[in-house]
């Protein structure tokens, strides 16, 4: 089953022709920022733009490191019907309040224009280069809907029920499954029953998404973030327990659910795919692997399945110059494990290896189609710094940071002002071990996590608290001797920038 019908393919071709026509004077590059919930999309975009505009410390971003970027500035975005990414508000939140901005709740867009000197003598003689970087941001939950385009209602129902009955989900789905029990799909359509089923199903999805479970395969995504569609028939359906091989009876509950499932795809998913997702040139996929690792192998396996299904909907590869006028392909993809600042740098390579294992099948497919792929352990905004602490005569690699107000660890609550030192443990050398162990990834750590106050305090809390990641406040920005505020610190944001756009600034 095609992701979008032929008519929509034609409309997509017209959109691409319009994009190319408007880019004849100044070319544009559309960068998609995607990822599942809590992966840090808003923070990534804000940090990327802040570092470009402020001239941040980007040693691996060649055009910036060599001083060839003359100017970077914001301009009005090209799509008038798409909300603007509220960069200024997010910067204030990070820099002035030292709090993390709210998660993405809708599609938004931001245009950054870069003026640069070419790296080649011939191009330099033609004058300064100029390119628009159009950044497209959208909720991670919506990514989960893309695989629905290739499924019918019966297939989706069977897969969703099978997952809900797995040991990791059975207790979470108990209330919804009880509502579903004994229901006759051939019975008459009933609006009240449809609302009850949709409400119970949504409750199960919310419970599965909670931090302690960190499950990822939770479509339909708009059930978790309905927006202006809340209460509409397109969001008032749920899976039914259908016997294999049965047919749909007109005016039945099943017919009602099937109709609304297809309406959801037509009203929500296809327009999103056609108008936004299928028009991208480059892609970064942000993954909160640490949360899944902390929840255990079932959450890791669930994350792997979610990423594999999502990435099957990508359009990777290279096109000829003529083909690029009518269509677009994503020719460079970055998979980034976020929140690398929650680990000591000794574990960054291991986090990278685990993510590479998670997205291995997607990398193979993208590479086969001609796309280039990179895998990075990254922190778009670095909230911690590294140090060494001593415990019972042993020196441990630690991270230092200020936990957010109200964060708790080992029975201690933090006020958002005091700095603490944490030994986060070490991820295993073998990435396969996180897929094989029956219990939490904490058993795979080489040492138990320990929480200590900053070294200058001279005291420490009880050791042996187990693995538990604390959310830290954004850092206080440094100032130069002239009083200028520096850009947001990061880990490997420059590497991601070089891979994603560096070739377009030569």
Mind listing the pLDDT tens digit for each residue in 432-451? 888 765 443 344 333 333 33
Tell whether 1 is covered by a domain: no
pLDDT tens, position by position, 221-264: 888 888 778 889 999 999 999 999 899 999 999 999 999 999 99
Q: Which residues sit opposite 379 in a β-bridge?
A: 491
Q: Percentage helix, strand, coil, to 5, in the chain?
A: 40, 20, 40
Do 62 and 158 belong to one domain? no
Question: What CATH number does the domain containing 98 carry?
Answer: 3.40.50.300
Do 412 and 344 belong to one domain? no
pLDDT for the residue 463: 28
Rounded-to-integer distance, Cα 474 and Cα 382, Å: 7
Tell whether 156 is covered by a domain: yes
pLDDT for the residue 46: 96
Do 13 and 53 belong to one domain? yes
Q: How far apart are the first and last CA of the chain?
A: 41
Instruction: Identify the segments of the chain with pLDDT beneath 50.
Output: 1, 320-326, 438-467
Do 35 and 130 belong to one domain? yes
pLDDT for the residue 75: 97
Do 204 and 292 belong to one domain? no
Do 221 and 249 belong to one domain? yes
Q: Which residue has the tokens 């095609």?
A: 2
pLDDT for the residue 466: 35
pLDDT for the residue 456: 36
Domain extent at residue 268: 152-272
Reading the block at residue 350, the tokens are 């291991």
pLDDT for the residue 402: 95
Do 341 and 259 belong to one domain? no
Domain boundary among 227, 246, 272: 272
Do 256 and 285 belong to one domain? no
Tell whether 485 is covered by a domain: no
Helical pair 360-368 and 348-358, crossing angle rounded to 10 deg: 70
Do 391 and 452 belong to one domain? yes
CA atoms within 13 A on the CB side of 210: 11
**Among the listed residues 18, 38, 29, the one whose alpha carbon sits nearest the alpha carbon of residue 292:** 38
pLDDT for the residue 311: 75
pLDDT tens, position by position, 39-61: 899 999 999 999 999 998 999 99
Do 372 and 499 belong to one domain? yes
pLDDT for the residue 435: 75
The total number of structural domains in the chain stands at 3
Domain boundary among 272, 297, 325: 272
Domain boundary among 272, 297, 319: 272
């Amino acid at each position: 089953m095609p992701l979008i019908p032929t008519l929509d393919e034609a409309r997509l071709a017209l959109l691409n022709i319009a994009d190319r026509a408007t880019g004849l004077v100044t070319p544009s590059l559309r960068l998609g920022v995607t990822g599942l919930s809590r992966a840090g999309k808003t923070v990534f975009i804000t940090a990327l733009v802040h570092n470009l505009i402020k001239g941040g410390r980007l040693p691996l971003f060649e055009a910036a490191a060599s001083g060839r970027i003359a100017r970077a500035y914001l301009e009005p975005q090209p799509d008038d019907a798409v909300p603007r990414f509220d960069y200024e508000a997010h910067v204030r939140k990070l820099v002035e309040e030292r709090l993390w901005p709210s998660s993405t709740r809708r599609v938004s867009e931001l245009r950054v224009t870069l003026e640069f000197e070419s790296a080649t003598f011939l191009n330099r003689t033609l004058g300064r280069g100029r390119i628009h970087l159009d950044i497209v941001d959208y909720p991670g939950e919506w990514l989960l809907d893309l695989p629905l385009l290739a499924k019918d209602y019966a297939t989706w129902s069977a897969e969703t029920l099978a997952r809900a009955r797995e040991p990791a989900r059975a207790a979470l789905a108990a209330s919804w499954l009880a509502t579903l029990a004994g229901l006759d799909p051939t019975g008459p359509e009933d609006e009240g029953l449809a609302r009850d089923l949709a409400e119970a199903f949504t409750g199960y999805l919310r419970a599965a998404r909670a931090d302690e479970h960190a499950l990822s395969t939770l479509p339909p995504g708009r059930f978790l973030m309905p927006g202006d569609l809340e209460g509409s028939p397109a969001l008032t359906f749920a899976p039914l327990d259908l016997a294999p091989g049965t047919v749909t009876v007109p005016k039945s509950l099943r017919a009602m659910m099937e109709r609304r499932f297809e309406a959801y795809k037509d009203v929500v998913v296809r327009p999103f795919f056609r108008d936004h997702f299928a028009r991208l040139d480059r892609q970064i996929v942000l993954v909160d692997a640490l949360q899944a690792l902390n929840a255990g192998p079932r959450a890791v396996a669930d994350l792997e399945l979610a990423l594999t299904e999502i990435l099957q909907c990508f359009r990777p590869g290279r096109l000829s110059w003529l083909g690029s006028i009518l269509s677009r392909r994503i020719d460079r993809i970055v998979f980034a494990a976020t929140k690398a600042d929650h680990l000591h740098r000794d574990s960054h390579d291991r986090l990278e290896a685990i993510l590479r294992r998670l997205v291995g099948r997607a990398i193979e497919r993208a590479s086969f189609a001609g796309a280039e792929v990179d895998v990075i352990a990254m922190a778009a905004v670095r909230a911690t710094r590294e140090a060494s602490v001593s415990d019972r005569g042993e020196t441990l690699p630690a991270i230092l940071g200020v936990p957010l107000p109200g964060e708790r660890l080992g029975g201690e609550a933090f006020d958002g002002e005091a700095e603490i030192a944490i030994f986060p443990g070490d991820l295993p050398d073998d990435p396969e071990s996180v897929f094989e162990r029956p219990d939490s990834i904490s058993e795979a750590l080489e040492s138990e996590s320990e929480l200590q106050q900053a070294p200058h305090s001279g005291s420490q809390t009880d050791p042996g608290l187990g693995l538990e990641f604390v959310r830290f406040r954004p850092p206080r920005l440094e100032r130069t001797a002239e009083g200028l505020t520096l850009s947001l610190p990061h880990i490997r944001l420059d590497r991601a920038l070089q891979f994603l756009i560096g070739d377009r600034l030569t």
